[in-house]
Chains A and B, each alone.
Chain A
Amino acid sequence: MRKSQTLNLGTGTFVLLGFAALFFLTTQTTSHGLAFATPPHYDVTAKFDNIGDLKVGAPVAMAGVELGRVTKIGFDWKDYKAVVTLRIDARYDKIPSDSDASIYTQGLLGGKFVGLTPGGADSYLKDGAQIDFTQSAIVLENLIGQLVANFTKSKADDQAAAAQPAAAQPKSTEKTK
């Protein structure tokens, strides 16, 4: 009797562990997650023109210190902007209400995070407040596009400048044709 009890206990523990592991894999490593209890916090929102690949769960930092997390990313149909909800730890309750929020990149190709820069107002951000001053994520493709545009433009200017004194003489390349 005792032997079969320990046997059942071992088998039961094993099967329970196995299913707990499966449950963990399906809920905690995928986006089909379950939210667990959170420490005291307050939520503020910020509207961005472009959030790049900012993801839910990304850190919110001021001066490099983590203050909270991005908990929700929505879309505003009125002005076609992204609405990002920032959950900030209740310990950090003295953030000036005119602070501005920008989206930065961790490392060269790393994930995005929201950086707050303090403003000078006497009032502080409260639960449900909105950050008015925002700066969008820098999209690498746009940056490269601008760079290329600038580059070709300046190159064209150079060529035009070089072509003017040479314009009097016939071009040698045209001759060979």
Chain B
Amino acid sequence: MKLLKDLWQSLIYSLVGLGAVTRFLLRLAAESPRALLRTDLIAQQIFNSGALSLVIIMLSGLFVGMVLGLQGFQLLQRFGSEEALGTAAAIGMVKELGPVVTALLFAGRAGTALASELGLMRATDQLSAMEMMAVDPIRRVVVPRFLGGVIAMPLLAAIFSVIGIYGAQLVGVQIMHVDAGSFWSQMRAAVGLSDINEGIVKSCIFGVACSLIAVYEGYYADPTAEGVGRATTRTVVTSAVVVLFLDYLITAAFL
């Protein structure tokens, strides 16, 4: 009986959480058009979540692509159709691995930074101080960080995909000696604009999800050292689960 009651309680809590996140998202969306005019703030945040994540994204993209090339080659070789490697690598990169792995890395690299920064601002009463000076902290601090993440994420995913395709090409063509012309021509014949489109839509939605979770967890973190730590952890865990869940939904919608 107690168990049922606990379950009921946690269900209510998670519903309350979901509602709060949704309201927070609507608030951010309402503030966004005005915040876009503050280009200097946005640029600063694109730098923080985008340009600073570039190295980890490019390195991961290279290795993911190389592994894809190696595994794809081993598999396709059994059917004697190694030339399809380009198609396999490009489709896998652009549609799935690019957006998803980038989103997971983005949550780990940029999301945690956002959450801990905002959480620490909360813990050290900087946000309250802003309110005291009649500066809306959401408009001044949260929205630029959110928008910076939303803008940076699709660009990061595109860079990841390109580096990944070149990683697959590196292994497939330079090491395994798949014909370069067949690699690219079969890729071009098989990949359509709709595939690229799916990748872009996915990365945009993941960008919104990851940035929203990070700023929400940070903004509403408990104002203690422990609270900031918990907010950071929750950012990564929630982002990962939400991204993989959304990935399934979007893939199904595009089929």
Task: Judge if B24 is at the interface, Cβ distance under 8 Å.
Answer: no
Closest chain A residue to B165, Cβ basis: A29
Task: Judge if A82 is at the interface, Cβ distance under 8 Å.
Answer: no
Contact A57 B188 (CB under 8 A): yes
Contact A17 B80 (CB under 8 A): no
Task: Judge if B253 is at the interface, Cβ distance under 8 Å.
Answer: no
Contact A22 B82 (CB under 8 A): no
Task: Judge if B97 is at the interface, Cβ distance under 8 Å.
Answer: no
Contact indicator per residue, chain B 24-53, by CB within 8 Å of chain A (1) or not (0): 000000000000000000011011001100
**Contact A110:B82 (CB < 8 A) given known A8-B43, A29-B187, A57-B188:** yes
Residues in B with CB closer than 8 Å to A69 are 181
Contact A58 B94 (CB under 8 A): no
Closest chain B residue to A4, Cβ basis: B40
Contact B185 A13 (CB under 8 A): no
In Å, the complex CA distance between A75 and B52 comes to 52
Enumerate B168-193 residues with CB–CB distance to A below 8 Å.
179, 181-182, 184-189, 191-193
B interface residues with partner A (beta carbon < 8 Å): 43-44, 46-47, 50-51, 54, 79-84, 90, 94, 152, 154-156, 158-159, 161-162, 165, 179, 181-182, 184-189, 191-193, 195-196, 199-200
Q: Can you spell out 15 A-B residue pairs with CB atoms less than 8 angstroms apart? A: A7-B43, A14-B46, A17-B54, A18-B152, A19-B155, A21-B158, A25-B196, A30-B188, A30-B196, A33-B188, A56-B185, A57-B188, A106-B179, A110-B84, A110-B182
Query: Within the complex, which residue of B47, B81, B94, B184 is in contact with A108, where a contact is CB–CB below 8 Å?
Result: B81
In Å, the complex CA distance between A110 and B183 comes to 11
Residues in A with CB closer than 8 Å to B79 are 107-109
How many chain A residues have a CB neighbour from B under 8 Å?
A: 35
Task: Judge if A115 is at the interface, Cβ distance under 8 Å.
Answer: no
Residues in B with CB closer than 8 Å to A124 are none
Q: A7-B43, A17-B54, A109-B79 are in contact. List 15 more A-B contacts (CB 8 A).
A: A7-B47, A11-B44, A11-B51, A13-B51, A15-B50, A18-B154, A25-B199, A30-B193, A30-B195, A55-B186, A57-B184, A106-B179, A107-B80, A110-B84, A111-B84
Query: Within the complex, which residue of B51, B182, B200 is in contact with A14, where a contact is CB–CB below 8 Å?
Result: B51
Contact A15 B155 (CB under 8 A): yes
Closest chain A residue to B42, Cβ basis: A11
Contact B82 A30 (CB under 8 A): no
Task: Judge if A26 is at the interface, Cβ distance under 8 Å.
Answer: yes
Contact B158 A58 (CB under 8 A): no
In Å, the complex CA distance between A57 and B84 comes to 13
Contact B200 A22 (CB under 8 A): yes
Residues in A with CB closer than 8 Å to B184 are 28, 57
Closest chain B residue to A22, Cβ basis: B158
Expressed in whole angstroms, the minimum distance between the Cβ of B252 and any Cβ of chain A is: 23
Closest chain A residue to B194, Cβ basis: A30
Residues in B with CB closer than 8 Å to A10 are 47, 51
Task: Judge if A80 is at the interface, Cβ distance under 8 Å.
Answer: no
Contact B192 A57 (CB under 8 A): no
Residues in A with CB closer than 8 Å to B84 are 110-111
Contact A11 B50 (CB under 8 A): yes
Per CB-CB distance, the 9 closest pairs between chain A and chain B, nearest first, are: A57-B185, A18-B155, A107-B80, A21-B158, A14-B51, A108-B80, A21-B162, A10-B51, A11-B47
Residues in B with CB closer than 8 Å to A15 are 46, 50, 155
